[in-house]
Amino acid sequence: MRSQRTTLLVEIALTVALSAVLSVLAVRLPVNIAGGSISFALLPLLVLSLRRGIVPGVIAGALFGCVDLLIEPFFVAPFQVLLDYPVAYAAVGLAGLGSGAYRRAAERSAAAGTAVALGYMALGGAARLAAAWLSGVVFFGANAPAGQPVWLYSLVYNLSYIVPSFAICAAAAVVILPMLERAVPATAHSVEMAA
Protein backbone atom coordinates (compact mmCIF):
# COMPACT_ATOMS: atom_id res chain seq x y z
CA MET A 1 0.00 0.00 0.00
CA ARG A 2 2.81 2.41 0.87
CA SER A 3 4.56 1.54 -2.39
CA GLN A 4 1.40 2.37 -4.36
CA ARG A 5 1.08 5.76 -2.64
CA THR A 6 4.74 6.49 -3.33
CA THR A 7 4.25 5.53 -6.97
CA LEU A 8 1.24 7.84 -7.19
CA LEU A 9 3.14 10.74 -5.62
CA VAL A 10 5.98 10.22 -8.08
CA GLU A 11 3.50 10.16 -10.97
CA ILE A 12 1.95 13.43 -9.79
CA ALA A 13 5.39 15.04 -9.44
CA LEU A 14 6.46 13.85 -12.90
CA THR A 15 3.17 15.07 -14.37
CA VAL A 16 3.66 18.55 -12.91
CA ALA A 17 7.28 18.68 -14.08
CA LEU A 18 6.44 17.50 -17.60
CA SER A 19 3.54 19.96 -17.86
CA ALA A 20 5.90 22.76 -16.80
CA VAL A 21 8.45 21.83 -19.46
CA LEU A 22 5.77 21.55 -22.13
CA SER A 23 4.29 24.92 -21.13
CA VAL A 24 7.64 26.60 -21.79
CA LEU A 25 7.61 25.14 -25.31
CA ALA A 26 4.43 27.01 -26.18
CA VAL A 27 3.38 28.96 -29.24
CA ARG A 28 2.30 32.43 -28.17
CA LEU A 29 -0.49 33.97 -30.20
CA PRO A 30 0.17 37.61 -31.19
CA VAL A 31 -3.44 38.62 -30.48
CA ASN A 32 -3.40 37.39 -26.88
CA ILE A 33 -2.12 40.41 -25.02
CA ALA A 34 -2.92 39.10 -21.54
CA GLY A 35 -1.47 35.62 -21.87
CA GLY A 36 -2.70 32.45 -23.45
CA SER A 37 -0.66 30.19 -25.65
CA ILE A 38 -0.96 26.88 -27.44
CA SER A 39 1.04 24.05 -25.90
CA PHE A 40 1.01 20.42 -24.83
CA ALA A 41 0.99 21.40 -21.12
CA LEU A 42 -2.45 19.86 -20.58
CA LEU A 43 -1.40 16.48 -22.00
CA PRO A 44 0.24 15.04 -18.86
CA LEU A 45 -2.64 16.34 -16.71
CA LEU A 46 -5.25 14.68 -18.92
CA VAL A 47 -3.35 11.40 -19.05
CA LEU A 48 -2.82 11.28 -15.28
CA SER A 49 -6.47 12.14 -14.63
CA LEU A 50 -7.79 9.36 -16.85
CA ARG A 51 -5.30 6.84 -15.48
CA ARG A 52 -5.48 7.67 -11.78
CA GLY A 53 -8.75 9.47 -11.18
CA ILE A 54 -10.08 12.85 -10.18
CA VAL A 55 -8.18 13.39 -6.92
CA PRO A 56 -4.67 12.93 -8.36
CA GLY A 57 -5.72 14.86 -11.49
CA VAL A 58 -7.03 17.85 -9.52
CA ILE A 59 -4.00 17.85 -7.21
CA ALA A 60 -1.55 17.71 -10.13
CA GLY A 61 -3.47 20.43 -11.95
CA ALA A 62 -3.48 22.76 -8.95
CA LEU A 63 0.23 22.17 -8.37
CA PHE A 64 1.00 22.80 -12.03
CA GLY A 65 -1.04 26.01 -11.85
CA CYS A 66 1.20 27.21 -9.02
CA VAL A 67 4.33 26.28 -10.97
CA ASP A 68 2.96 28.00 -14.10
CA LEU A 69 2.39 31.15 -12.03
CA LEU A 70 6.09 31.09 -11.11
CA ILE A 71 7.16 30.47 -14.71
CA GLU A 72 4.96 33.06 -16.37
CA PRO A 73 3.24 35.29 -13.80
CA PHE A 74 0.42 37.60 -14.81
CA PHE A 75 -1.00 39.18 -11.69
CA VAL A 76 -3.92 41.61 -11.51
CA ALA A 77 -5.68 40.58 -8.29
CA PRO A 78 -5.49 37.66 -5.85
CA PHE A 79 -8.77 36.08 -7.02
CA GLN A 80 -7.65 36.42 -10.65
CA VAL A 81 -4.44 34.54 -9.81
CA LEU A 82 -6.48 31.74 -8.23
CA LEU A 83 -8.84 31.51 -11.22
CA ASP A 84 -6.16 31.67 -13.90
CA TYR A 85 -3.64 29.33 -12.32
CA PRO A 86 -4.50 26.69 -9.66
CA VAL A 87 -8.27 26.64 -10.21
CA ALA A 88 -8.12 26.58 -14.03
CA TYR A 89 -5.59 23.75 -14.15
CA ALA A 90 -7.16 21.82 -11.27
CA ALA A 91 -10.37 21.91 -13.32
CA VAL A 92 -8.58 19.90 -16.03
CA GLY A 93 -8.39 17.11 -13.46
CA LEU A 94 -12.18 16.73 -13.69
CA ALA A 95 -11.39 14.47 -16.64
CA GLY A 96 -10.55 11.97 -13.90
CA LEU A 97 -14.27 11.54 -13.22
CA GLY A 98 -14.16 9.20 -16.22
CA SER A 99 -11.20 7.12 -15.10
CA GLY A 100 -13.24 4.00 -14.33
CA ALA A 101 -15.55 4.46 -17.31
CA TYR A 102 -12.53 4.88 -19.60
CA ARG A 103 -10.90 1.72 -18.27
CA ARG A 104 -14.09 -0.34 -18.74
CA ALA A 105 -14.73 1.07 -22.23
CA ALA A 106 -11.12 0.50 -23.31
CA GLU A 107 -11.40 -3.15 -22.26
CA ARG A 108 -14.39 -3.54 -24.62
CA SER A 109 -12.77 -1.83 -27.61
CA ALA A 110 -10.26 0.82 -28.56
CA ALA A 111 -12.98 2.93 -30.19
CA ALA A 112 -15.15 2.87 -27.06
CA GLY A 113 -12.16 3.81 -24.91
CA THR A 114 -11.32 6.69 -27.22
CA ALA A 115 -14.89 7.99 -27.20
CA VAL A 116 -15.14 7.90 -23.41
CA ALA A 117 -11.68 9.46 -22.99
CA LEU A 118 -12.54 12.31 -25.37
CA GLY A 119 -15.81 12.97 -23.56
CA TYR A 120 -14.23 13.24 -20.12
CA MET A 121 -11.26 15.20 -21.43
CA ALA A 122 -13.77 17.64 -22.95
CA LEU A 123 -15.26 18.03 -19.47
CA GLY A 124 -11.84 18.98 -18.08
CA GLY A 125 -11.22 21.37 -20.98
CA ALA A 126 -14.64 22.98 -20.55
CA ALA A 127 -14.02 23.45 -16.82
CA ARG A 128 -10.70 25.13 -17.54
CA LEU A 129 -12.40 27.36 -20.10
CA ALA A 130 -15.06 28.30 -17.53
CA ALA A 131 -12.42 29.42 -15.01
CA ALA A 132 -10.52 31.43 -17.64
CA TRP A 133 -13.75 32.93 -18.98
CA LEU A 134 -14.85 34.05 -15.51
CA SER A 135 -11.45 35.61 -14.89
CA GLY A 136 -11.72 37.46 -18.20
CA VAL A 137 -15.19 38.76 -17.42
CA VAL A 138 -14.30 39.95 -13.92
CA PHE A 139 -10.74 41.19 -14.37
CA PHE A 140 -10.09 41.88 -18.06
CA GLY A 141 -13.34 43.46 -19.26
CA ALA A 142 -11.52 46.75 -19.96
CA ASN A 143 -9.74 45.01 -22.86
CA ALA A 144 -13.02 44.37 -24.69
CA PRO A 145 -13.53 46.44 -27.83
CA ALA A 146 -16.11 49.22 -27.52
CA GLY A 147 -19.62 47.88 -27.96
CA GLN A 148 -18.68 44.20 -27.52
CA PRO A 149 -20.15 42.49 -24.46
CA VAL A 150 -17.46 41.59 -21.95
CA TRP A 151 -18.72 38.01 -21.63
CA LEU A 152 -18.40 37.52 -25.40
CA TYR A 153 -14.96 39.10 -25.53
CA SER A 154 -13.73 36.83 -22.74
CA LEU A 155 -15.26 33.75 -24.37
CA VAL A 156 -13.73 34.41 -27.81
CA TYR A 157 -10.37 35.37 -26.33
CA ASN A 158 -10.11 32.24 -24.19
CA LEU A 159 -11.46 29.95 -26.90
CA SER A 160 -8.67 31.20 -29.20
CA TYR A 161 -5.99 29.34 -27.27
CA ILE A 162 -7.78 26.82 -25.02
CA VAL A 163 -9.55 24.97 -27.84
CA PRO A 164 -6.42 24.46 -29.99
CA SER A 165 -4.40 23.41 -26.94
CA PHE A 166 -7.10 21.03 -25.82
CA ALA A 167 -7.49 19.57 -29.31
CA ILE A 168 -3.80 18.72 -29.73
CA CYS A 169 -3.55 17.39 -26.19
CA ALA A 170 -6.69 15.24 -26.47
CA ALA A 171 -5.51 13.83 -29.81
CA ALA A 172 -2.13 12.95 -28.32
CA ALA A 173 -3.71 11.54 -25.14
CA VAL A 174 -5.92 9.03 -26.99
CA VAL A 175 -2.76 7.71 -28.67
CA ILE A 176 -0.62 7.71 -25.52
CA LEU A 177 -3.15 6.28 -23.03
CA PRO A 178 -3.41 2.75 -24.52
CA MET A 179 0.35 2.54 -25.06
CA LEU A 180 1.05 3.70 -21.51
CA GLU A 181 -1.51 1.27 -20.11
CA ARG A 182 0.19 -1.62 -21.92
CA ALA A 183 3.65 -0.54 -20.71
CA VAL A 184 2.75 0.49 -17.14
CA PRO A 185 -0.77 -0.59 -16.19
CA ALA A 186 -2.63 1.54 -13.65
CA THR A 187 -4.39 -1.21 -11.76
CA ALA A 188 -8.01 -0.72 -10.80
CA HIS A 189 -7.03 -1.06 -7.12
CA SER A 190 -4.49 1.77 -7.31
CA VAL A 191 -7.00 4.01 -9.09
CA GLU A 192 -9.71 3.36 -6.48
CA MET A 193 -7.23 3.96 -3.66
CA ALA A 194 -6.25 7.32 -5.16
CA ALA A 195 -9.85 8.54 -5.45
Show the domains of the chain with their CATH numbers.
2-194 (1.10.1760.20)
End-to-end Cα, the chain, rounded Å:
14
Left, alpha or beta for 147 (phi > 0: left; psi -120 to 50: alpha)? left
Out of 22-36, 118-132, 148-162, 177-191, least confident range: 22-36
49-91 confidence digits (pLDDT tens): 999 999 999 999 999 999 999 998 988 999 999 999 999 999 9
Contact 163, 141 (CB under 8 A): no
pLDDT tens digits, 34-50: 567 889 999 999 999 99
Q: pLDDT tens across 167-190, in order? A: 999 999 999 999 998 998 886 445
The pLDDT, as a whole number, for residue 139 is 93
pLDDT at 192 over 50: no
